[in-house]
Structure 1
Amino acid sequence: MLAILGITAPIFILIAIGFFACRSGLISRDQAAGMGRFVITFALPALVIRALLERPLAEVFDWYYVLAYGLGSLLVFGLGYAFARLVRKDSLSGSAMVGLGVSVSNSGFIAYPIVAMALGSPAGVALALGMIIENVLMIPLALTLAELGRQSGGVGKALRGTARSLIRHPVLVAITAALLMAILELHPPPVAMRVIDMLATAAAPVALFVIGASLSGMKPGGLVMDVSQVAVGKLILHPLMVLLCFTLLPVSNPVLASAGVLMAAAPMMSIYPILGARYGLEGRCAAGLVVATVLSFLSVSVFIWAVG
């Protein structure tokens, strides 16, 4: 147990430092937002490039991992969406946001630092592959369904709007560039690679600090059922479903599979409330993010113990 706490405690201490720094006024929310943009625009892309270039592409890209993690995420998305739509009679947009909340992890800001401390270098590969699945499959699926519930423009309009946003996403641009360099066996010059290393090293601590700062202004009150549904689905069902799919589709590297389970055990992405705001669901999504992030201290510790 002390070994597990040695992994998880520094993660949540950094989150707490960011929370109290913003709550006490040492930094403003605008300053924290600027740090978050630094992570998304520079640090995480550098981290992805380093992960995809430090080993031959055949060792990095594992189709079984992509299939298993993607299938597990799709299954839990479907369960969350169906429960919200059929049982709780939620709107199409609301159900899509529930599906998104239970199936897409905070890969770069929380999951990667945890997996890196627990398992080491496979964390970078899991991050890169997980972000491909999230940004190419899960987020477009959820946003397309949510847009269908919001406008009368049809599937085509929703898909075009989602595609325009994703094409400009810095992490997706970095993944595309790194994959092309890996396929063509091109490598940045040593000076550029050192800059990439320095930016990549900054990703985890700055990201955790930003998560804490962003939580300082969120209030979860009055949404018990909504919050419970999303938190249970994200922290328990998602990693269990991914674990089941890894059992059915075993990857060549079992440590990478363990990294995938821990990635799935993280709370939902930090921009979840921002995406929900477009559909009038910012309060519900913010409440789910706050509760899931706090409870993830326990759930992640359990899954670290479970994967050994």
Structure 2
Amino acid sequence: MQGVLNVTLPFFALIGGGYALGRMKFLSQEGVKGLNTFVFYFALPCLLFRTMASKPIAEIFDAPFLAAYTVVGVVVFAVIALIGRLSFRCSLGQAGLQGQAAVVGNIGFLGLPLIMALMGDAAGVPVALGLLIDLIIIVPLTFALLEADRQTGNGWVRYARDLTRSMIFNPFVLSSGLGIIVSALGWGLPVPIDAFTKLLGGAAGPCALFALGTTLAGRAISSGLGQVSYMILAKLIVHPIAMWVGMVLIFPVDPMWAQAAIYVAAMPIGANLYIIAQNFDTYAHETSTAVLLSTFVAVFTVSALAAFMG
């Protein structure tokens, strides 16, 4: 357990440090925005690109893993959204946000650097693929349910257009896709490019965690704690268990990839949930609280999982 804590606690301490400085207003809103911009558009994309480009294409596309991850994600999304809609009598869009909360974790800012620290660089590929599946399949399901709530004829056209644009130009999708292309072509990375992406990608972990903390400092704990607790339980307990069932008992997934996927499923709720809710002007307080509290609870649940999995 001590060895696990030696890895996990520094990561969560970085989040805590960013949170504390954010609460004390050491960084202005412009400073926080600049730090997030650096991480989102430069550091993390470099890490994702190098992770994909440095692996043979045969090691990237693992059919059992892709099938298991996708099926588990869609099933958990649907079940949590349905139960939430029936239990809390919430709208279709709010149920969709609950479903996304249960499935889409903070993979980029927290999961990728933490899981690679726990398992080594080889775990970067399944983590990156999980991130792509969430962005391309799960998040659009949330948008579809939110748009269904609006019930406007032109809404679906705008939804499809905006969603396509956001996926194509998402830095994580672009960088991972470019890395996959380089891998498929068998080019390898020239030494200067490899050194550059390694240097910049190395900044992704600490900067992303600190940026996450400063961002969470702007969130407040609000009402609706019953629904918030439901989302946190679904994300930190239900999703990892479901991922274990899918990866270990149902699909013949490589043990290392299965372990990485379970870690991904155990990550706290991704911050983009709140951004989506805010953009649709619904469920913003509940999602903001869920993102904040799930990150704090994950200090204990992720450490316990890492100790259990060895």
Question: Normalising by structure 1, what TM-score?
Answer: 0.95
Q: Secondary structure at the match of 2:280?
A: coil
**Paired-residue identity, %:** 30
- The 8 Å contact of residues 48 and 175 in structure 1, kept in 2 or not, is answered as yes
Q: Does the alignment pair 1:294 with 2:304?
A: no
1:226 to partner: Cα distance = 1.4
Q: Which amino acid letter does the alignment assign opposite residue 118 of structure 2? A: A
Cα offset, 1:151, TM superposition? 4.4
State how 1:50-199 maps to structure 2 within 5 Å.
50-153=50-153, 155-199=156-200
| Structure 2 Cα separation of the partners of residues 61 and 90 of structure 1 | 38
- 8 Å Cα contact 2:69/2:243 also seen in 1: yes
> 1: CA distance between counterparts of 2:228 and 2:274?
13
Residue of structure 2 in register with 1:20 after alignment:
20
Cα distance in 2 for partners of 1:261, 1:119 equals: 12
User: What amino acid sits opposite 2:167 in the alignment?
Assistant: L
- 1:154-201 deviations in Å (ceiling 9; x for gaps): 644422321121111111111221122211222343212211111111
Letter aligned with residue 242 of structure 2: M
CA-based RMSD = 1.5
Matches of 1:220 and 1:170, distance apart in 2: 30
Q: Which residue in the other structure is 2:36 paired with?
A: 36
The residue type equivalent to 2:223 in the other structure is: G
Cα shift readout 1:9-54 (whole Å, capped 9, x = no counterpart): 1011100110111122221232112111111111111111111122
Q: Which residue is equivalent to 1:242?
A: 243
CA distance in 2, matches of 1:172, 1:53: 14
Secondary structure at 2:298 match in 1: helix
Structure 1 CA distance for aligned equivalents of residues 280 and 98 of structure 2: 12
Aligned partners of 1:287, 1:225: CA distance in 2, in Å?
11
CA contact (8 A) 1:122 1:259 kept: no
Q: Could you tell me which residue of structure 2 aligns to residue 251 of structure 1?
A: 253
3-state SS of paired residue (1:149): helix
- 1:150 Cα offset (Å): 2.5
TM-score, structure 2 length as denominator? 0.95
**Which whole-Å CA distance do the structure 2 matches of 1:250 and 1:227 have between them?**
34
CA offset at residue 146 of structure 1? 1.3
SS of the aligned residue for 2:163 comes to helix
Contact 1:75 1:241 in 2 (8 A): no
For 2:127, the aligned partner's letter is: L
SS in 1 for 2:27: coil
The Cα shift of 1:94 comes to 0.6
Give the superposition deviation at 1:306. 2.5
Task: Quote the residue 2:47 is aligned against.
Answer: 47
Once the two structures are TM-superposed, the CA of residue 211 in structure 1 deviates from its matched residue by: 0.9
Q: Which whole-Å CA distance do the structure 1 matches of 2:175 and 2:74 have between them?
A: 24
Distance of 1:144 and 1:37 partners within structure 2? 27
For residues 287 and 132 of structure 1, the distance between their equivalents in structure 2, rounded to whole angstroms, comes to 25
Task: Provide the residue aligned with 1:224 in structure 2.
Answer: 225
Gaps of 5+ in 2: none
Structure 2 CA distance, aligned partners of 1:67 and 1:267? 23
> Aligned partners of 1:151, 1:47: CA distance in 2, in Å?
40
Partner of 1:208: 209
Distance 2:68 2:157 in 1: 28
Q: Is this contact kept in 2: 1:239–1:264, CA < 8 A?
A: yes
Q: 1:63, 1:130 → 2: CA distance? A: 13
Q: Secondary structure at the match of 2:178?
A: helix
Higher mean C-alpha displacement, 237-246 vs 59-68:
59-68
- Structure 2 Cα separation of the partners of residues 199 and 286 of structure 1: 30
Structure 1 stretches lacking a partner, 5+ long? none
Structure 1 distance, partners of 2:272, 2:28, is 18
